[in-house]
Amino acid sequence: MIPAAFDYYRPKDMGEVIALLQEHGDDARVMAGGHSLIPMMKLRMADVPHLIDLQGIKDLDTIDINGSEITLGAMVTQHDLIGHDVLAAAAPILREAALQIADPQVRYMGTIGGNVANGDPGNDMPGVMQCLDAQINLIGPDGTRTVAARDYYEAAYMTDRADDEVLASVSLSAPTGGYAYEKQKRKIGDYATAAAAVQITKSDGKIASASIAMTNLSDVPVWSEAAGNALVGSACDGAALDAAVAAMLGDIDPSEDNRGPVAFKRHVAGVILKRAISRAWDRA
């Protein structure tokens, strides 16, 4: 389909972006890579009279690694994440997750900012950012503020970002230990039926810490503190895996759709989570 008519803007700096958002209010939307917003506009699921493209703004496409601190500009693409060897060494789960997003054509244009910002429960990076305890950096008319990824998502397509704010970057500390991003989907390019992001540290043959988040199993990504705690102190044996799955199943709330009924999704969630935990344990 063809989207409804809209005015297109390509500002040169963030000040222009904020001014346009203040001028047009709810009628304006910011676009990064466009792979979430443009399809919704074509299907008339989103009415956007004023479209603000961030492609013309410099310095939003940088990957900055300063010691253990990592900052990803909003316009960094999934392809950039995959191709950055220093980043892959510092936070390898980012490359592993990015490689499972859609297909190469999408990854060349799809951005970390767009994937994280809009609150689509099927997007991969929000769960990864919750797993890594990342911070989301916003810019608005009153300056900058930071929101934890674990607090950012409120409901499907609803986030803590105000209408006149823009996601400028995502920052995180380089994780340690073992990692895995496991994803089950119907076909290449599809959203996950279920996906799990896991980071584990090991001490004396047992799990010292564990962070677990899952994707597309509720109307928001789900970081499950209980699932991680269920693993701590264990040698990642079958009982610990079962306990972690049980804890996660208590935190998710999947709904039936064309990817399957609720019972199937809960079963797949358990299978995927066990795979991810086992692989992270092997890498720790």
What is the reported pLDDT for 40?
82
Q: At what angle do helices 238-251 and 262-283 cross, to 10 degrees?
A: 130
d(CA 210, CA 214): 13
What is the reported pLDDT for 235?
98
What is the reported pLDDT for 238?
98
Please give the domain boundaries of the chain with CATH numbers for all domains.
Answer: 7-56 (3.30.43.10), 63-173 (3.30.465.10), 178-283 (3.30.390.50)
Bridge partners, residue 198, by sequence: 180, 212
Helix (H, G, I), strand (E, B) or coil at 143: strand
DSSP 49: S
d(CA 198, CA 273): 8
Which ranges of the chain have pLDDT less than 70? none
CA angle, corner 49, sides to 48 and 54, nearest 5? 70
What is the reported pLDDT for 41?
85
What is the reported pLDDT for 39?
82
What is the reported pLDDT for 44?
85
| DSSP symbols for 69-131 | EEEEETT-BHHHHHH-HHHHHH-HHHHHHHTTSS-HHHHHH-BHHHHHHS--TT-SHHHHHHH
Tell me the residue type at 218. S
d(CA 151, CA 221): 10
CA dihedral 244, 69, 128, 226 (to 10 degrees): 20
Among 2, 28, 37, CA closest to 157? 37
- pTM value is 0.95
What is the reported pLDDT for 188?
86
What is the reported pLDDT for 34?
84
Sort strands 69-73 and 63-66 into parallel, antiparallel or unpaired.
antiparallel
d(CA 259, CA 166): 32
Dump pLDDT digits (tens) for 146-199.
999 999 999 999 999 999 999 999 999 999 999 999 999 999 889 999 999 999
Among 121, 114, 157, 120, CA closest to 136? 114
What is the reported pLDDT for 155?
97
What is the reported pLDDT for 37?
83
What is the reported pLDDT for 141?
96
